[in-house]
Each structure stands twice: as C-alpha cells, then as structure tokens.
Amino acid sequence: MPELPEVETVVRQLAETIPGCQILDVEVIHADLLSEPPDSFRKGLRHSSIEAVSRRGKNILISLSGSQLLVVNLGMTGQLLFTPPGSGEEPADTAAEPSHPAIVFGLRPVASLVYADVRRFGSLRRFTLEDWRAESDRLGPEPLDPQLSPSALQERLGRSRSPIRSWLLDQTRIAGIGNIYASEALFRAGIHPKKPARSLHRQDSERLLKAVREVLSEAIRARGTTLRDYRTASGDRGTFGPALQAYGREGEPCLKCNTPIERIVFGNRSAYLCPRCQEIS
C-alpha cells in the first residue's frame, strides 16, 4: 500500500495541476529517502520545469526539463500532496496538511509539492531517461495494458512454482499489484492464494486477468483505498474500502456463499480468502 489505483489517482490529479510549474527550491528534511546527497538532489532539480506526470507500476514519474525524471515511490505510508497557488494563507482544511513532511518542493507559481512519509519506506530518485528505461524494463507488464492477453499471462504463470498470490506481488512479473488487490482479484476469480502459478489453466488465467482489471478499474474510479495513511494529491481519502469483498474481512461472511472469510499468513504477508469459494484443489 499504496498500490496501482492509489498511485494512478495521485498521478491523474498531479497531471492536471503541476505540468508547467518550475521547481524553485527543494527542502530536504529526511535525506534517507534519497539515493544521492541532499545538495546534489537539490541542485539537480532546482530551476527545472515540470513537463508531465505519469505512472509505471507503483511509481510516480515526474518528467522534467533537461531530459531527467524524478521517480517517486510511496512505499508503505508515503503521500505526495499538492498545495495550489493561493493567497499564502493557511488552508482551512488542516486535515489535508501532512504531519510528517520529508521533502518539500517550492514551485512557481506560488505552490508547493510535499512528500510526507511517517515510516519513510518510500524513495525519491533522479534518473536520466536512458537509465529509467533500463529500470522500467525490469518491471513486469502493466495489468491494465490491453496487450497483456490471457494467453500471455498464462505463459508467464507457467514459468513459476510460486503461489499465485506471491506471483502477483512480484513487481518483476506484473507491475502495480499489492496485497489488497491481489486478495480481491483472487477472491473474484475463485482462485486460492496458495495455488501454484504454473498450475493455473487457461480458464483460470482468463478469470484472473478479468478480475484483476475489474477490481483495479473500480478502485481507480473510487480514488483508491484508504485504510490508514493513503491520501490523494489533494489530501482526500480513497473511498474503495467499503467495496472490499475479501481483504480485511476475516470472520465476516463471504458475500457469495456466507462462509466466514479466513486470513492465512505465508510469505510474511496475510491473505484473505473464502475457503469454500476458493478451494485449493
């Protein structure tokens, strides 16, 4: 968390607001989020113009003048919040203000972009376009890419003995899915989280890809899922939480068959399933 729908929500909001802005200054409060010295990071970004905002997997890509890219990964608890140009007065809604600011970008016209992160598992890295292409090539395909067909997915699954839930969480196999939407997609597809990836048949792959795309698309429309820390770029909460059918519903009745939802732990992560609708055999 945040996963593809949360990151996509932030990207869509920022893409409407910050292209055309210039970075006037960068305040580094917590340097451990950077992969280079703070002075180098600040110098490399100052006076750059923001050209576009996009997404790759769980990464926010901010394209800058000078053919460089600022790549922001929100980690577990990161937030990227935009304060639009205004009078300079304190905003009325203080709930949107970050409580753990880590990196602050001063923009022209008068505005700010704040990266906040209570646990500081996220990262901000500068790339050249060439270096980012190499980094991006290490990631798996985008699950919403129309070019990812059920047969292509099945071919990828057939190379792995990993449990399907673990396979979905591996960003080198498919990019953007985390534990929430893996649990939701597997529940919708009727597939047990521990089922070996290579044991899925063609129909399983079709159902899984359809379920993945449906749940991700629905979550994007709801601006993501806020369980605790996630906020949109404007500081709002995601509203998909009440639509979750498996994740976090341990002991509650399955919405399909009324069997209590179970939580199992493997790979150091919890998985939620209906033992009746998602039999492992």
Q: Which tens digit of pLDDT belongs to each residue from 129-143?
A: 999 999 999 999 999
- Please indicate whether residue 3 is annotated as part of the active site: yes
pLDDT value for 91? 41
pLDDT value for 96? 53
Question: Cα separation of 1 and 7, whole Å?
Answer: 9
Instruction: Tell me which of 3, 6, 8, 184 is the catalytic residue.
Output: 3
- Please indicate whether residue 2 is annotated as part of the active site: yes
- Please indicate whether residue 269 is annotated as part of the active site: yes
Amino acid letter, residue 26: V
Secondary structure (3-state) at 159: coil
Question: Cα separation of 45 and 34, whole Å?
Answer: 13
pLDDT value for 69? 98
**How far, CA to CA in Å, does 267 sit from each of 169, 173, 189, 245, 264?**
10, 16, 21, 22, 10
Instruction: Tell me which of 56, 237, 263, 269 is the catalytic residue.
Output: 269
Kindly give the parts of the chain with pLDDT less than 50: 87, 89-95
Amino acid letter, residue 226: T
Residue 222, C-beta contacts closer than 8 angstroms, at least 6 positions apart: 5, 238, 239, 240, 243
pTM here is 0.94
pLDDT value for 86? 63
- Please indicate whether residue 90 is annotated as part of the active site: no
229 DSSP assignment:
S
Instruction: Tell me which of 2, 5, 143, 193 is the catalytic residue.
Output: 2
